[in-house]
Structure 1
Amino acid sequence: MKANTKKLFQYLDSLETAIGPCILLIIFLDVILQVISRTLPGNAIPWTVELGEILLGALIWLGIGVGVTKNSHVSFDLLLRRFSKKWRRIVCLWNINLFIGYLFLLAIFTVQLLGFYQKLSAKSTILQIGMFWIRLPILIGCALTIIRLIRKELTVIKDKSQTCITDHTIK
């Protein structure tokens, strides 16, 4: 069971790493299309703005997931390196729990917002996509990041050499 879970997370990590650049490429092409369409008189393509917004939201949550997995928050790293190994672990665990708390609150508020969107049948202005579907990645991102943070916390608790420094990836 443990090996299957590890393989699942490795697969998700590689999937995120592959999807991120694809989304970035689509955003780049979307922006080029926006610029070209706005420089030609009367040819503005309004849906490109909404598409860019939706994809940017997805890219942000993918980036958060990758950042949590690879411990790649530069400013936090610089601060942590100033502490002894014991205090690094304490600060690391404190930080993980603070982040989990924040994401939990964000998830609660997102559930409320999604319920509001469902009740009103709110849609995006141009593409007419339900706002529920546009904002759902926030809830999914919160849930996946909380799972990753719990895994990270368990790793730090079990392995005394783990200190949330960039060179320590979640195992």
Structure 2
Amino acid sequence: MKAISEYYIKVVDNINNVVGYVLAAFLAIMSITIFWQVFSRYLIGTSIPWSEELARILMLYIVLLGSALALRKGQLLAVEVLPEILQKKNKSRLKLFVNLLSLFFYFILLYYGFTLAESVSGQRLPGLGISMFWFYFALSLGGFFLVINAVANILEDAKEVRS
């Protein structure tokens, strides 16, 4: 079991590295798109109809995928009053409980995000002309990455509780 959990954690961390590069590319594309939109609107006098939609979609993916990376690295915003007053063993137990509870909500995001994406798949974004599915798919994709990162955290927390 120990080898499987270590292998899983290593695979998740490798996936997170790739996701980090994808997020960097999304941020670069979004920044260039917004810069070009502002430049073209105020200096050239024409507007790019699809730039706002693309920036909005990329921002949604950046937030949701970035949340999964922040979860794995323990960098999500948290109020840590209770963990600060607990002893190390109980602090690990609390962390494990919080990750298990959070996992439940990540599954909800994954499931209902995909359900929502499917329900709007027949609609199109007017500027880009692509299906609204891809806009709402960010919810389920973010939920998926939150789930796999939460499981990796749970495996590490369980190891701390046992020791």
Query: Could you state the TM-score of these two structures normalised by the residue count of structure 2?
Result: 0.83
Shift of 1:20: 2.1
Render the CA deviation track for 1:36-77: whole Å, top value 9, x for unaligned: 122136401121100101111111122112112111124345
Q: Select which of 45, 54, 63 maps to 1:60.
A: 63
- Confirm whether residue 26 of structure 1 aligns to residue 33 of structure 2: no
Aligned ranges for residues 9-158 of structure 1 at < 5 Å? 9-40=12-43, 42-76=45-79, 80-118=83-121, 121-158=122-159
* Code of the aligned partner of 2:107: F
Counterpart of 2:63 in 1: which secondary structure? helix
Q: Which ranges in structure 2 are unaligned for 5 or more consecutive residues?
A: none
User: How has the CA–CA distance of structure 1 residues 48 and 79 changed in structure 2, closer, same or farther, with 3 Å as cutoff?
Assistant: farther
Superposed CA RMSD? 2.4
User: How has the CA–CA distance of structure 1 residues 94 and 7 changed in structure 2, closer, same or farther, with 3 Å as cutoff?
Assistant: closer
Q: Which ranges in structure 1 are unaligned for 5 or more consecutive residues?
A: 163-171
Identity over the aligned pairs, expressed in percent? Answer: 22
CA distance in 2, matches of 1:37, 1:161: 60
Query: Could you state the TM-score of these two structures normalised by the residue count of structure 1?
Result: 0.80
